[in-house]
Structure 1
Amino acid sequence: MSEQIGKVGVPAGALRRWLTDTAGGLPATFWYLWAGLLINRAGAFAMLFLSLYLTAARGASESLAGVVVGAYGAGGAVGVLLGGVLADRWGRRSTLVAAHLVTAALMVALALSQHLGVIAALALLVGVTHSVPSPAFVAAIVDVVPEHRRSRAFNLQFWAFNLGMAVASLLAGLLAEASYVALFLVDAVATVATAALIAWKVPETLARRQMRASPAAGPRRPRRPGLHTALTDRHFLVFVGLTFVLAVLTMQASTIMPLAMRADGLGPSSYGAVVALGGVLIVLGQLFVPRLIDRHRKAHVLALSTALLAVGFGALAVADDLVFYLGACLVWTVGSMLAAPPNAQINADLAPPALRARYQSVFYLAFPAASFIAPTLGGFSLQRWGDGHWLLVGALGLLAAGAHLFAGPARERRVATLRGQGERAEPSLAGHS
């Protein structure tokens, strides 16, 4: 009997250790933020179908629909910068609640609007308000999660984002069959639910005294530091540039790969299978990532993850059937999974406490920029060089992997300096409490 109990106890103990390694030691505020992000992503499906809504329900041409969707993307670039400034000046909680409530009101307006000009203007505003919460979410997580726990916190954030997007994609297809208007209204309800949860359970995490006493306001910096501090931080900008390359690689899957698959005689169902495989891998496997990477230097993990993305997309140069595409997807998805926690943590480590949200906003600019560059240059490259496009993508990724190894030591020294300044500032803050 004791042997049987021991046999049963081993996997139970292993499961407890895995749960502790994956999600243990995180404060309650983080879990409320995490739940808000999951609810928000699971309900954020209206804009996924915006182009179809415009053409099928509002009679817009494909070119006009493209302009409106582009306006939404342009609003996103403005929104991340605005969100960073508001979250550092106004507060994380206030920014999150206000942005979600305004977004919900705009969604209702979109559901009821029929004039294409009004819809385009509303789409632009939704692009702004959809992006405002991103810097505030991450800054709040950094505020409340101890440094040694942040890797698992960001891993869980990435997992919740992708799980929510998977749920959103499924629900959106079902709702669109019934009513496009319902897409916007249900989206608005989910957005209000997120705002209510944050207003109810998430306290303000911005430390006002810490902001005033931040090392960012040292003798060599302006008395009122702002976005320009992030935009002139050499170590940070190198990291943002490498993140931009990572985003360009990742977006090949949603922008250029469908065109390549069509050229290989593969239809939409094949593309859907590749996308579904990536989503399933992230949802099932992302929670196991922290134990794989926690003992390794972040620069090495990012170099490996970028190299995997380079190999996965570079291999498409010789892909000609669905099985090969699925195999390549497996490689680049593992790269994306490994990159998510250290990428977010380095971004947080490089930001002075008083400028966390502003640094996040500059960091997030890499993604709308990549969403423009990837299809624009990628389409030209595919048309001109055909399968050679994927060799160029692979070469770009390998160069970025090498750059992570080269830039890593200097970046680590910069992070150590910031931590030392923060530790020296803590007694000063305590003395004023």
Structure 2
Amino acid sequence: MPADTARTGPLAFWDELPRDGRWLLSTVVVQFFGRGLTLPFTIIYLHEVRGFSLSLAGTLMGLIAITGLVVTWPAGVLVDRLGARVVVVGGLLAAMGGLGLLAFATEPWVAAVALCLFGIQLGIAWPAVNALVATVVTGDLRQRYYGVSFALLNLGIGVGGVVGGLLMDVERPTTFVVAFVVNAACFVPALLVQLGPLRHLHGRATRPEASSDDGARPAGYLTILRTPAVWWLTVLALLASFVGYGQMEAGFPAFARQASQVSTRVVGFAFVVNTVVIVAFQFWVMGRARGRRRTRVLMVMALVWAASWAVLGATGLVAGTAAAVAGVLVFHALFGFGETMLQSAMPAVLNDLAPDHLRGRYNALQSGAFQVGSIVGPVAAGFLLDHGQSGAFVAVVVAGCLACVVVLVALERIVTPEVNGVSERRSAPAETR
């Protein structure tokens, strides 16, 4: 394309993507629209609609992460041996079954089975999808792909959150049933793409012959974890999950309802604010972060998150007022801004460290750390908030954000400049067929 007619921004990115990369992105918004319908309301559904105690609801939510943790490790091995696409398909089927069952779960054990099925998909998604992306998209385009995919993901969640906020009503349980059924149906387009246009992909790299090179020798999870950079990245993932995504489905909605005393509609629109910020700033953050130390970008993220949780904590002092509503919305705006930094830097660091033939295991290890944080997060939130310890809850989360900064200081000292994003690295494309 001539220089004077070359497209810029998102359109230029789309032009640079290979065909398979475009297919992978094509279903993200639809899939996560369904997620947005239920993401802010699952714990509210379990507690206020199905009548489970807040502690029990928090524990049930933790089952998602427990199951994800259990399946993540074998999933990483299967990705490296069988290929990422087959594993992705299995996860999509599990999610559809779990969400469909959850819609009609009136007993705790039924909800537990449903959430475990959904946890299978979450445990599989990180290692399988990231590995599949890495075999299709290479070089600098890979880091940009992760950022754009995250923006589209949040666009879907945000639009779903708007619809969910307008639809959900604890006085009409049927509205929750419909939302979970729609969520299950939103996985169908992704499944069709994997079984149709992308059926030629297996998503694994050929293992190199054994040699003196460390990357060519067989490596289990413990061997990989002994790599100092991987160790610190794993600790960072655990902390980031606990203070971040581990609280999005449990800590934040429960605090907003109980301590801030805002309506479910406000909770839903808070996720809309989150999405607007991510979509509006993701490309700007990607541009600013390009060529800068990724560890420094992540440090800013941790500090922004600490500030966001402090703002949410302050809403408890003005519960039930317009100021509380404003604070809840500001919380998600700040949190979303931090997310743009996390998603444009962290996956790139990990996948630049990972040898192609071990990419599934590397991603599974980080996914497992995220799952551990997601187990502890909802359980801790449910326990503290159910016992009226909202101040302690906020203090713990803010302390976790500050701990992320300490971890990043250690990580920066040991990663190479190439992995840290301050110089270009040339690498041969991985085998994708």
Per the TM alignment, residue 278 of structure 1 is displaced from its structure 2 partner at its CA by 1.9
Change in Cα spacing, 1:183 to 1:352, as seen in structure 2 (3 Å) is same
For 1:357, the aligned partner's letter is G
Q: Residue 132 of structure 1: SS of its match in structure 2? A: helix
Instruction: Give the distance between the partners of 1:175 and 1:267, measured in 2 at CA.
Output: 14
| Cα RMSD, aligned residues only | 4.1
Identify the match of residue 228 of structure 2 among 227, 231, 234.
234
Instruction: Give the distance between the partners of 2:412 and 2:129, measured in 1 at CA.
Output: 26
Change in Cα spacing, 1:124 to 1:306, as seen in structure 2 (3 Å) is same
Instruction: Give the distance between the partners of 1:100 and 1:250, measured in 2 at CA.
Output: 24
Instruction: Give the distance between the partners of 2:122 and 2:408, measured in 1 at CA.
Output: 31
Per the TM alignment, residue 197 of structure 1 is displaced from its structure 2 partner at its CA by 0.9
Change in Cα spacing, 1:68 to 1:397, as seen in structure 2 (3 Å) is closer
Instruction: Give the distance between the partners of 1:264 and 1:66, measured in 2 at CA.
Output: 16
Instruction: Give the distance between the partners of 2:175 and 2:82, measured in 1 at CA.
Output: 38
Instruction: Give the distance between the partners of 1:314 and 1:181, measured in 2 at CA.
Output: 34
Per the TM alignment, residue 158 of structure 1 is displaced from its structure 2 partner at its CA by 0.9
For 2:22, the aligned partner's letter is W
- 2:34 is aligned to 43
Instruction: Give the distance between the partners of 2:45 and 2:393, measured in 1 at CA.
Output: 32
Per the TM alignment, residue 156 of structure 1 is displaced from its structure 2 partner at its CA by 1.0
Per the TM alignment, residue 92 of structure 1 is displaced from its structure 2 partner at its CA by 1.3
Change in Cα spacing, 1:54 to 1:379, as seen in structure 2 (3 Å) is closer
Q: Report which of the two has the higher share of helix.
A: 1
**Runs (5+) with no aligned partner, structure 2:** 318-322
- 1:297 is aligned to 293
- 2:282 is aligned to 286
Q: Render the CA deviation track for 1:128-177: whole Å, top value 9, x for unaligned.
A: 13432321111111111122112210101111221222233345563886
**Structure-to-structure mapping, 1:356-375, within 5 angstroms:** 356-375=359-378
Assess if the C-alpha contact under 8 Å between 2:21 and 2:136 holds in 1.
Answer: yes
Identify the match of residue 411 of structure 2 among 407, 411, 415.
407
Identify the match of residue 348 of structure 2 among 326, 345, 349.
345
Per the TM alignment, residue 281 of structure 1 is displaced from its structure 2 partner at its CA by 1.2
Normalising to structure 1: TM-score of the pair? 0.78
Instruction: Give the distance between the partners of 1:259 and 1:191, measured in 2 at CA.
Output: 27
Identify the match of residue 62 of structure 2 among 63, 70, 73.
70
Per the TM alignment, residue 365 of structure 1 is displaced from its structure 2 partner at its CA by 2.0
Per the TM alignment, residue 205 of structure 1 is displaced from its structure 2 partner at its CA by 4.8
Q: Residue 186 of structure 2: SS of its match in structure 1? A: helix
Identify the match of residue 204 of structure 1 among 198, 201, 205.
201
**Runs (5+) with no aligned partner, structure 1:** 1-12
Q: Does 1:138 align with 2:138?
A: no
Identify the match of residue 22 of structure 2 among 31, 36, 44.
31
How high is the sequence identity, in percent, across the aligned residues?
A: 23
- 2:191 is aligned to 195
Change in Cα spacing, 1:347 to 1:185, as seen in structure 2 (3 Å) is same
Normalising to structure 2: TM-score of the pair? 0.78
- 2:219 is aligned to 225
Identify the match of residue 157 of structure 2 among 162, 165, 169.
165
Q: Which is bigger in relative contact order (C-alpha 8 A, separation at least 6)?
A: 2
Q: Render the CA deviation track for 1:38-58: whole Å, top value 9, x for unaligned.
A: 332223468645556667877
